[in-house]
Amino acid sequence: MSGKKIIIMDVDTGIDDAIAIIVALQSPNIEIIGITSVHGNVSSKKAALNTLGILQAVGRQQHANKIPVIQGALRPLSSGKKLVHTEHIHGKSGLGDIKLEYDESLLRRDGAPHFISQTLKNYRKGEVSLIATGPLTNVAKAIAADPSIVDSLSGIYVMGGAYGLASKDVYGNITPYAEFNFYCDPAAAQIVMDSGAKMNVVGLDTTKRYLVDDTFVARLLRSRKNKAAKITSSLLHYPIERFGKFDLPDVFAVAMLERPDMFEFKKGRIEVVKEGPLQGHSRFIEEAERANNSKTFVVSRIVSERHFDDYLFSRLGSNHYFF
């Protein structure tokens, strides 16, 4: 495992979360030591079960060193916030129209914040990173319960918000002004943004610039015959049939950690509107490079969409899983 980037993933496993998990599993540079679930695309429990199903489908849970899956926050921190799910996009199960088997006895319910805190105690400072692809409830609760997490982590890699940097036209998908993850729990998002953690953030304004369609799936199936390619194509069948094209925002969070050279970043701070008609709206305030008080970097553009495409195919097309 020497030289690998060690990560915990925090997910609300819908279709793009599932593909992000597969991309991370397929990387020779990444070792996943745990996956926590959060309310979001689906309920926290369903997200955890979907995660178990993906791990089992790719053969990961048959391995002796199983990845622990921990059910996390059932509800947002934001006061009075109703749960919002995305069945209209990801289907009732969260994974489109595919059915996966899983062993529910492997699901842990000892709490995501506790798992994150206790796991970090088993590693050196700066050895573990956290990738968050859903609402930030678990991460905010973990930091509130154990602020030392901020210094223990190498970094937090977040898919959330929209900042008008890569595209001036994209500021939301759940409302015209808010991206889904931040909208689901804006209070948690602000806690994490203000935590002082070293953080790379990619917003919807970047991820919406990369869409997959039937051509992508056909190329994947034509060139690859492995489990990753087949499961990914099955996952994409539902949204592509419904919408024609589909974006993969959560994959960007994994790519930021593994291949930051594929992106340009701006340094600054993020403000999240916590209530009112603009609830969940995110605003990026750029800081001069000489300013040292912020450790937050937001993607301002993809350096090369072709390189990102090559990266994605290299992961989904690998014939080996790196345990």
**Domain map of the chain by residue range?**
5-316
Q: Give the type of residue at 129.
A: S
Cβ atoms of 292 and 317 closer than 8 Å: no
Name the burial class of residue 177, with classes exposed (0-12), middle (13-18) and buried (19+) by CB atoms within 10 angstroms of its CB: middle
Please tell me the distance from the alpha carbon of residue 129 to that of residue 209, in angstroms, as a whole number.
26
Inter-CA distances, 89 with 49, 93, 152, 239, Å: 18, 11, 36, 7
For 16, the 3-state DSSP assignment is helix
Q: Give the type of residue at 227.
A: K
Neighbours of 151 (CB within 10 A): 12
User: What DSSP line would sit under 223-234, residue for residue?
Assistant: H--SHHHHHHHH
Tell me the chain's radius of gyration from C-alpha atoms: 18
Please tell me the distance from the alpha carbon of residue 15 to that of residue 17, in angstroms, as a whole number.
6
Query: What class has domain 5-316?
Result: alpha beta
Cβ atoms of 236 and 275 closer than 8 Å: no
Of residues 296, 300, 315, 186, the one with CA closest to residue 251: 315
Cβ atoms of 46 and 20 closer than 8 Å: no
pLDDT tens for the 323 residues of the chain, in order: 458 999 999 999 999 999 999 999 999 999 999 999 999 999 999 999 999 999 999 888 776 679 999 999 999 999 878 888 898 899 889 999 999 999 999 999 989 999 999 999 999 999 999 999 999 999 999 999 999 999 999 999 999 999 999 988 888 999 999 999 999 999 999 999 999 999 999 999 999 999 999 999 998 888 666 888 899 999 999 999 999 999 999 999 999 999 999 999 999 999 999 999 999 999 999 987 656 678 999 999 999 888 898 999 989 876 554 43
For 106, the 3-state DSSP assignment is helix
| Per-residue burial over 302-313, b = 16 or more CB atoms within 10 Å of its CB, e = otherwise | beeeeebeebbb
pLDDT at residue 323 in the model: 39
pLDDT at residue 1 in the model: 43
> DSSP H helical segments within 5-136, as ranges?
15-26, 44-57, 87-90, 112-120
